[in-house]
Amino acid sequence: MSVDTSKVATSNRTDAATASKPGPAGSLASWADDRLGLATMMKKNLRKVFPDHWSFMLGEIALWSFVVLLLTGVFLTLWFTPSMGEVTYEGSYDQLRGIGMSEAMASTLHISFDVRGGLLMRQMHHWAAMIFIAAMMVHLLRVAFTGAYRKPRELNWVIGCVLLLLGTLEGFTGYSLPDDLLSGTGVRAADGFMKASPVIGTYMSFLLFGGEFPGESIIPRLYIVHVLLIPGILLALIAAHMLLLVYHKHTQWPGPGRTEQNVVGFPMLPVYAAKAGGFFFMVFGVVALMGGLLSINPVWKFGPYDPTKVTAGSQPDWYMGWPDGALRIMPSHLETVLFGYTISWNVLIPILLLPPMMLVILMLLPFIEGWITGDKRDHHLLQRPRNAPTRTAVMVSLMTFYGLLWAAGGNDIIAIKLHASINQITYFMRGAVFLGPALAFWITRRWCISLQRHDNEKLLHGYETGIITRSPEGQYAERHLPINEKTAYTLTARERDEVFTVGSDTDAAGVAAPNSRSERLRARLSRWMYVHNVQKPTVAELEEAHHHAEHEAELAAGLDHPVDGHQFDDHRLRDTDDVPLRDH
């Protein structure tokens, strides 16, 4: 059966649209259209349909916090002086008066104490940055867990990964600008990272700092990277990300009437625009509340950067926490001298190899999965995480790895808050980063498969009513009732996994296919990926189960009274038809 398009609505209005006389707005519109031809483009997109689900709005949090970042950032540039020129602070903050510092630090203090709303804007900017990257990561997890990165959206996934990287770099450059003790310590560590790069490291450091650390150039250089270079690329990539979203149309959850061929939801104008616009104000509002109430990076307490000072709890912002954790749990003495050249594995591995490797793995996920499954079809229906147990387990395993390193990055704070020893925490983490992900993989996969079984149970035998009946023989049994058609359909609206086999290993003439080795690997991986999965029941299985259920019902009907457990009270069984699908 092909999709019936006759019922496709183009409007959700209930009354007919009527042409009205062009008012001044109409005249302006035709003036513009005469020159720009906007109508052709807008006719397609104004009523573009977006499906509605909370998890589809996570990326929006990132988008709107980026807008907040642009707005607050522009405000801050009006007063910030990106210079390392020496000045003596004579501003309002008593404890630092008379202290020498860079102009960057002095202007940050000026924004904080002498510009009304300046401190609020600084804190909003910082909170928005933290939320921006956090939202990108939750959005990434949603996309990965639902399989939304499959064809045709792989490239948009890659763009998203690059956005995450750029967001992190943007955050780090911003963190360094105030030139306070914490940010300076961070820059000095970054200098150490650079110097650990083989061959070119020392020169990279000297070129970036304009000589030896700290020099006088780093703040102005980071500033231009922070306010122009990276935001420019971010903007361009965000635009590309959104254009591809519009071109592909949003994915949707399967359900009655929601298929691979259509998208069901609300039109861009007015509902989606209102919801998205409203959400922008909410994100902005939450950031403003946090900026007004919660202190973040109190630079005046850190004081100006001085390369001889340091504070306990010297940590990067959260998104740099996991490489920092990797750095902390490296064993001692990992450095080799080869032909007189020093290779610092203790920095190389956790900072210069691990994060880029994680990023590459992340970017390749859809391609690796696509290759193993050999699936070349377009996918617009999302998968529930349980229905792709191996993918879900891989993601949880990566999350566990990330989370453990993240915790290792806060080992000193964990130590004082839990009265533990940093040494013990570090020893534990050294093992846990290897064992944890493996364990998480195994648990998650088994868990998903159990959930799949549970779904099949529901399809075949109905849901558990919680009603216990006792047979005349004294046997107790829980009564199961069939789930409604909508739920049942939604549960079955998934594909059967097919293990790739090397069937056509040799062609008719007995000649091995050219790629047979990689094909065999692929078959093995495909088997590993799918073999334990539980497939949805077939028509025959369902019919048999229903026959069985009918038989049971007949037996029950033979009794004197219906035994749904509520025969003596007013309660009727849950009217499963009334339960909205989305609640499941």
Partner 1 sequence: MSIETPPHESHVPTHREAEPIPDPGLPPHHWRPTDVDPKAEKRAERQIAAMFIAAMISAVLFVVAYFSFEVGDNWDTFAGMGASTVALGVTLGLTLLLIGIAIIHLARKLMSDVEMVEMRHSAASPPEDREATIEALNAGLDEAGIGRRPLVRNTMLGAVGILGLPAVVLLRDLAPGDELDISKLAHTIWEPGMRLVRDVVGTPILASEVEMGDLINAAPEALFPTEENGYEELHGAELQVNKAKGAIIIVRMEPENIIPAKGREKWTVDGIICYSKICTHVGCPISLYERTTHHVLCPCHQSTFDLADHAKVIFGPAARPLPQLPLAVDEAGYLVAQSDFTEPIGASYWEREKQ
Partner 2 sequence: MRVLNRTAGRLSRHRRGPLAGLAVLLLGLLISGSLYTALAPAQADNQPSETDQVAQGKELFLASCAFCHGKNGEGMPTVREGYQVGPSLVGVGAAAVDFQVGTGRMPMASPGAQAPRKPVAFNDEETAALAAYVASLAPGPAIPNESDYSIEGLSDEEREEAISRGGQIFLTNCTACHNFNGRGGAMPRGGYAPNLHGVEGKYIFEALLTGPQAMPNFSNGNLSPDEKRDVIAYLGSIQDTPEYAGFTLGGLGPVSEGMFAWLAGIGSLVGAAIWIASHTTRSKKSKVNA
At closest approach, how far in Å is the CB of 63 from partner 1?
A: 14
Per rule CB under 8 A, is residue 309 in the interface with partner 2?
yes
CB proximity list for 55: less than 8 A, separation 6 or greater? 142, 146
The CA distance from 451 to 455, in Å, is: 6
Q: Out of 344, 392, 444, 452, which residue is the one contacting partner 1 (CB under 8 A)?
A: 344
From 79, 280, 318, 345, residue interacting with partner 2 (rule: CB under 8 A): 318
**CB of residue 131 vs partner 2: minimum separation in angstroms?**
4
CB of 408: closest distance to partner 2 in angstroms? 12
Can you tell me which of 478, 498, 505, 544 binds partner 1, judged by CB under 8 A? 498
Return the residues of window 274-303 that contact partner 1 according to CB under 8 A: 274-275, 277-293
**Which of 64, 244, 62 has the alpha carbon at shortest distance from 141?**
62
Within 10 angstroms of residue 136's Cβ, the number of other Cβ atoms is: 26
Distance of CA 453 to the CA centre of its chain: 28
Of 18, 20, 40, 295, the one binding partner 2 by CB under 8 A: 295
User: Could you tell me if 291 and 123 are in contact, meaning their C-beta atoms sit under 8 angstroms apart?
Assistant: yes
In terms of Cα–Cα distance, which of 555, 223, 198 is closest to 345?
A: 198
Q: Which range in 357-365, 392-400, 487-495, 558-566 contacts partner 1 by CB under 8 A?
A: 487-495
Nearer to partner 2, 68 or 393 (CB): 68
DSSP conformation class of 261: T
User: How many angstroms separate the CA atoms of 536 and 455, rounded?
Assistant: 8
Partner whose footprint covers residue 347, from partner 2, partner 1, none (CB < 5 to 8 Å by kind): partner 1
Which stretch in 4-12, 165-173, 227-235, 353-361 sits in contact with partner 1 by CB under 8 A?
4-12
Contact 428, 456 (CB under 8 A): no
Contact between 334 and partner 1 by CB under 8 A: the answer reads yes
Alpha-carbon torsion angle 137, 141, 144, 145, nearest 10: 180
Give me the phi and psi of 466, to 5 degrees please: 80, 5
CB of 538 to partner 2, least distance (A): 33
Among partner 2, partner 1, none, what binds residue 480 when CB lies within 5 to 8 Å by partner kind? none
Q: Which does 453 bind (CB under 5 to 8 A by kind): partner 1, partner 2, none?
A: none
Residue 318 binds which entry of partner 2, partner 1, none, with Cβ cut-offs from 5 to 8 Å by kind?
Answer: partner 2
For partner 2, the closer CB: 34 or 577? 577
Tokens of 162: 């690059």
Q: Which is nearer to partner 1, 373 or 444 (CB)?
A: 373
* Pair of tokens at residue 101: 């510092």
Least gap, CB of 29 to partner 1 (angstroms)? 22
Burial 389-424 (b: 16+ CB within 10 A, else e): bbbbbbbbbbbbbbbbbbbbbbbeeebeeeeeeeee
> Minimal CA–CA distance to 258: which of 490, 45, 576, 579?
490
Query: Residue 559 in contact with residue 537, Cβ under 8 Å?
Result: no
Q: Does 115 bind partner 1 (CB under 8 A)?
A: yes
Q: Which phi and psi (to 5°) does residue 512 adopt?
A: -65, 140
Among 458, 486, 524, 532, binds partner 1 (CB under 8 A): 486
Between the alpha carbon of residue 237 and those of residues 5, 128, 158, 210, the distances in Å are: 35, 19, 11, 30
CB of 278 to partner 2, least distance (A): 7
| Cα torsion 199, 204, 210, 215: sign | negative
* Shorter beta-carbon distance to partner 2: residue 279 or 489: 279
Q: Does 119 bind partner 2 (CB under 8 A)?
A: yes
Smallest distance from the beta carbon of 584 to partner 1, in angstroms?
14
Q: Does 412 bind partner 2 (CB under 8 A)?
A: yes
Per-residue x/- track, 148-177, partner 1 (CB under 8 A) = ----x-------------------------
CB of 447 to partner 2, least distance (A): 22
| 3-class secondary structure per residue, 311-329 | CCCCCCCHHHHHHHHHHHC
Q: 321-328 and 389-409 are packed helices; what angle lies between their axes, rounded to 10 degrees? A: 70
Residue 252 pairs with which residues in a beta bridge?
381
Among 172, 193, 223, 322, binds partner 1 (CB under 8 A): 193
Strands 341-343 and 86-88 come out as unpaired
Residues 348-377 that bind partner 1 (CB under 8 A): 350, 373-377
Closer Cβ to partner 2, 311 or 515, answer by number: 311
Q: Which residues contact 168 (CB under 8 A, 6 or more apart)?
A: 133, 319, 320
Binding mask 168-207 for partner 2 (x = CB under 8 A): -------------xx-------------------------
Contacts to partner 2 from residues 78-107, by CB under 8 A: 94-99
Window 232-271: contact mask with partner 2 (x via CB under 8 A): ----------------------------------------
Per CB under 8 A, which of residues 423..442 are in contact with partner 1? Answer: 423, 426
Residue 302 near partner 2 by CB under 8 A: yes
When the beta carbons of 69 and 372 are compared against partner 2, the nearer one is: 69
CA pair distance 505, 523, nearest whole angstrom: 11
Is 422 a binding residue for partner 2 by CB under 8 A? The answer is yes
Alpha carbon distance, N-terminus to C-terminus of the chain: 28
Neighbours of 456 (CB within 10 A): 19
420 binds, among partner 1, partner 2, none (CB under 5 to 8 A by kind): partner 2
Among 249, 275, 479, 480, binds partner 2 (CB under 8 A): 275
